[in-house]
Amino acid sequence: MAADASFRFRILARDGGARRGEILTPRGTIRTPAFMPVGTAGTVKAMYAHEVAALGADILLGNAYHLMLNPGAERIARLGGLHAFMQWDRPILTDSGGFQVMSLSKLRKLSERGVVFQSHIDGSSHELTPERAMEVQALLGSDIQMQFDECVRLPSSREDVERAMRLSLRWAERSRRAFAGGPGQAAFGIVQGGAERDLRIESAKALADMDFHGLAIGGLAVGEPQAVMLDMIETVEPHLPADKPRYLMGVGTPDDLLACLRRGVDMFDCVMPTRAGRHGLAYTRYGRMNLRNSRFAEDPRPIDATSLAYAGRHFSRSYLRHLIKAGEILGMMALTAINIAYYEVLMAGARDAIERGMLDDYIAETRAGWERGESAGAQE
Amino acid sequence: MAADASFRFRILARDGGARRGEILTPRGTIRTPAFMPVGTAGTVKAMYAHEVAALGADILLGNAYHLMLNPGAERIARLGGLHAFMQWDRPILTDSGGFQVMSLSKLRKLSERGVVFQSHIDGSSHELTPERAMEVQALLGSDIQMQFDECVRLPSSREDVERAMRLSLRWAERSRRAFAGGPGQAAFGIVQGGAERDLRIESAKALADMDFHGLAIGGLAVGEPQAVMLDMIETVEPHLPADKPRYLMGVGTPDDLLACLRRGVDMFDCVMPTRAGRHGLAYTRYGRMNLRNSRFAEDPRPIDATSLAYAGRHFSRSYLRHLIKAGEILGMMALTAINIAYYEVLMAGARDAIERGMLDDYIAETRAGWERGESAGAQE
């Protein structure tokens, strides 16, 4: 890996606050704004990785927390790293485990050093520190490695938010130092500060000075209204280095993605398209469809004849409803693929619109399609 | 549909008692001996139908019992039939519901007329008679429709077996009369009689006189040893019309298939490859592998580099073990495909061996591969 072994970000076009860019890595180019499907435990649930690639995803997210517990980061390293393990050769971003250790694990004990916790699976005891979180991600062979942070739920007291933000800054420094940095690998810091504008700004400024390859905005979409989330993004955005990618963690609905990329966010991840798909919800250009609804019982039409997903074009809504109602795995497979395809095509449309300087029109047209929506879809 | 709109069976080669044939239908040719993957409720669980076709299956099995309850046979008919519903354009054989109504439903009441039963899903009341069973299968658009029968578990008293066999014969006559018979569609009778040789022979002879397009052997693989099953096949076989296909219902392991096709069986179905796959078992040319076994934890090799299934060639045993242990849907998808691929390649090998007059060698070599098996596979 010579000339192309570096991690680079370049902006190709702007439209208002939105950026059309690309992240160049030795494993491939990530077109931004990008949506990253979530492959929690070494698999995007209910899909083959090569199918996810075929639907347009340039990068997946993996979770250090899940993978360190099962099958273990050292084991994955011995097997050649996460890319080989899960048969995905494009870039992977890994979460550091900070979020999951707070939301999933039992009996955690937080200290300046890190977090000691019990596995949510078997109760075994583990420790995550900034140093160990970066080591785990290096063992996985992650292309974009996230700092270890503490993420609080909203609403939380200002005191809690401030304490967690400052701890996360100290952990950011330790994470950055611990980052091993293989060829073309990157480390991202995470802006915290809850819904407190001054704390968010302080966090962003401090991180901007730390030589990360990109910055994330964490601790949003954890229970607050969309307006609060957008306010925080607008607050933070001017303090993020303009020449580095910005990643909004764990967001969100299709509408969230459009609202946030319009405000300068370059990368997203969310379990919504996969999790909702497994529960019978389809995200489409006609809006969200709940396939459990009886009005689909004899609807012979496909979800969307233009879908990149085979099931989106070929399966009738009645068949999908039957599969979901019967608890059939194929229903989960089909709706997961349909939703990933829609999220990816939504982002492709946004990238194209930014290049043409037509983003606001694109967003308005897309939202109008959702508004005409399901009912128009069912009657046409 | 003119010249090719008929249902025909022709034998291309024989080797001992084994037959290499083909069933010609308007929807395509079924190469025999054939293994039919089971698509109980309108889906081969955890696979797209087009993937099943790509692995070599010429025909699927559907279950009238499941489909009449959900989403309903009339509904499927209004939606264009089962082929369109599940996006499978090759032949489909449907079970009549006789077996499932006995094994799954609650509070069933059997009479000469038929069976009144409560759905295992919602407790709703339904009736299946020979006439309704054939109507349901006609509504589904099934290419091969099975008579309605009563299947008893083994061991059962001779009295129970005899009563059920005679009732099934009367139901066979009613089923044959009720068979609607669209172009190229076929009706099969089902030999019953438990483990009683004379009853089996009586059943076979009576059915042979009834103008069915093929005959099945039912009521085996319901708890008896393999030797009893083989004895019953050898007992029945001389009394089955030589020029019609013979279908052994619900059988079996790879070894069962070889033992039975050697005795003149042309068609098989079984949930084993799909159900076992969902539970972490792989059927391979090295024998059966339990992917939960810890010896696969760091085994980087694929299940079988020659597998027709993508996952069989590309996923390491360690990855499959991780997926199964983590309860990931992808693990079920992968092992289902691996097993269907193996069952189909096993049958393709048998067909080829019969053509070459080398079936006994093929069976011996195949069994030797299973014997060398997993341990050799893990050590090589």
Chain A CB within 8 Å of residue B226 CB: no
Q: Report d(CA B116, CA B187) in Å as an integer.
A: 23
The DSSP string of B306-328 is: T-SSHHHHHSBHHHHHHHHHTT-
Q: Report d(CA B45, CA B33) in Å as an integer.
A: 23
* Number of Cβ within a 10 Å radius of residue B253: 17
Q: Are A268 and A252 in contact (CB under 8 A)?
A: yes
Across the interface, do A316 and B70 touch by the CB < 8 Å criterion? Answer: no
| Residues in A touching B310 (Cβ below 8 Å) | 48, 50
Q: Report d(CA B96, CA B116) in Å as an integer.
A: 14
Strand partners, A269: A36
The DSSP string of A142-211 is: -SEEEPP-----SS--HHHHHHHHHHHHHHHHHHHHH----TT-EEEEEE--TT-HHHHHHHHHHHHTTT
A231 labelled catalytic: no
Reported ipTM: 0.96
Q: Report d(CA B117, CA B101) in Å as an integer.
A: 7
Report the pLDDT value the prediction gives residue A260, as an integer from 0 to 100: 98
Can you read off the two tokens belonging to residue A59? 């990068």
Q: What value does the mean pLDDT take over residues B94-119?
A: 88
pLDDT band at B154 (very low <50, low <70, confident <90, very high): confident
The minimum CA-CA distance between B377 and chain A, rounded to whole Å, is 18
pLDDT band at B377 (very low <50, low <70, confident <90, very high): very low
Q: Which of A244, A141, A139 is nearest to A191 (CA)?
A: A244
Chain A CB within 8 Å of residue B292 CB: no
Across the interface, do B79 and A322 touch by the CB < 8 Å criterion? Answer: no
Report the pLDDT value the prediction gives residue B380, as an integer from 0 to 100: 37
Report the pLDDT value the prediction gives residue B180, as an integer from 0 to 100: 87
Please say if the pLDDT value at position A106 is more than 80. Answer: no
Report the pLDDT value the prediction gives residue A4, as an integer from 0 to 100: 60
Q: Shortest CB distance from A322 goes to which of B50, B71, B297?
A: B71
Chain B CB within 8 Å of residue A340 CB: no
Strand partners, B289: B282
Amino acid at B162: E
Number of alpha carbons in the 13 Å side-chain half-sphere of residue A164: 28
DSSP H helices, chain B, are: 49-54, 64-69, 73-78, 82-86, 98-103, 130-140, 158-178, 197-208, 226-236, 254-261, 272-278, 310-314, 317-325, 329-356, 359-379
**Percent of chain B whose predicted confidence (pLDDT) is above 70:** 97
Chain B CB within 8 Å of residue A316 CB: yes
Q: Are A320 and A334 in contact (CB under 8 A)?
A: yes
Please say if the pLDDT value at position A108 is more than 60. Answer: yes
A123-174: pLDDT as tens digits: 899 999 999 999 999 999 999 999 999 988 888 899 999 999 999 999 999 9
Across the interface, do B79 and A298 touch by the CB < 8 Å criterion? Answer: yes
The DSSP string of A296-331 is: GTT--SBS-TT-SSHHHHHSBHHHHHHHHHTT-HHH
Across the interface, do B297 and A71 touch by the CB < 8 Å criterion? Answer: yes
Query: How does the average pLDDT of chain A come out, rounded?
Result: 95
Can you read off the two tokens belonging to residue B329? 């849907």
Catalytic one among A15, A58, A95, A143?
A95
Please say if the pLDDT value at position B347 is more than 50. Answer: yes
- What chain A residue is nearest to B67 in terms of C-alpha separation? A322
What is the pairing mode between strands B92-95 and B60-63? Answer: parallel
Chain A CB within 8 Å of residue B29 CB: no
Can you read off the two tokens belonging to residue B65? 């019992």
Q: What value does the mean pLDDT take over residues B14-28?
A: 98
Can you read off the two tokens belonging to residue B89? 């354009």
Q: Are B98 and B134 in contact (CB under 8 A)?
A: no
Lowest-pLDDT choice from A102-116, A219-233, B239-253: A102-116
Distances from the Cα of A11 to the Cα of A20, A117, A266, B215, B378, angstroms = 6, 41, 10, 69, 50
pLDDT band at A99 (very low <50, low <70, confident <90, very high): confident
Amino acid at B367: R
Can you read off the two tokens belonging to residue B351? 């067909």
pTM recorded for the entire structure: 0.96
Dihedral of CA atoms B330, B336, B337, B338 in degrees, nearest 10, equals 100
| Residues in B touching A42 (Cβ below 8 Å) | 319, 322-323, 326, 328
Across the interface, do A70 and B315 touch by the CB < 8 Å criterion? Answer: no
Lowest-pLDDT choice from B325-334, B345-354, B365-374: B365-374
The minimum CA-CA distance between A139 and chain B, rounded to whole Å, is 15
Across the interface, do A318 and B48 touch by the CB < 8 Å criterion? Answer: no
Q: Shortest CB distance from B326 goes to which of A47, A70, A318?
A: A70
Can you read off the two tokens belonging to residue A355? 């290049």
Q: Report d(CA A206, CA A194) in Å as an integer.
A: 16
Sign of the torsion angle spanned by Cα atoms B281, B283, B286, B288: positive
DSSP 3-state assignment of A80? coil
Residues of B annotated as catalytic are: 95, 269
Please say if the pLDDT value at position A229 is more than 90. Answer: yes
Q: Shortest CB distance from A43 goes to which of B47, B85, B330?
A: B330
The minimum CA-CA distance between B47 and chain A, rounded to whole Å, is 6
Surface of A (204-223) touching B: CB under 8 A:
none
Please say if the pLDDT value at position B305 is more than 70. Answer: yes
Chain B CB within 8 Å of residue A53 CB: no
Q: Report d(CA B256, CA B235) in Å as an integer.
A: 17
CA A286 from centre of chain: 23
Across the interface, do B329 and A332 touch by the CB < 8 Å criterion? Answer: yes
- What chain B residue is nearest to A86 in terms of C-alpha separation? B319
Strand partners, A367: none
Can you read off the two tokens belonging to residue B234? 């050898």
Chain B CB within 8 Å of residue A295 CB: no
Chain B CB within 8 Å of residue A306 CB: no
Catalytic one among A256, A269, A299, A304?
A269
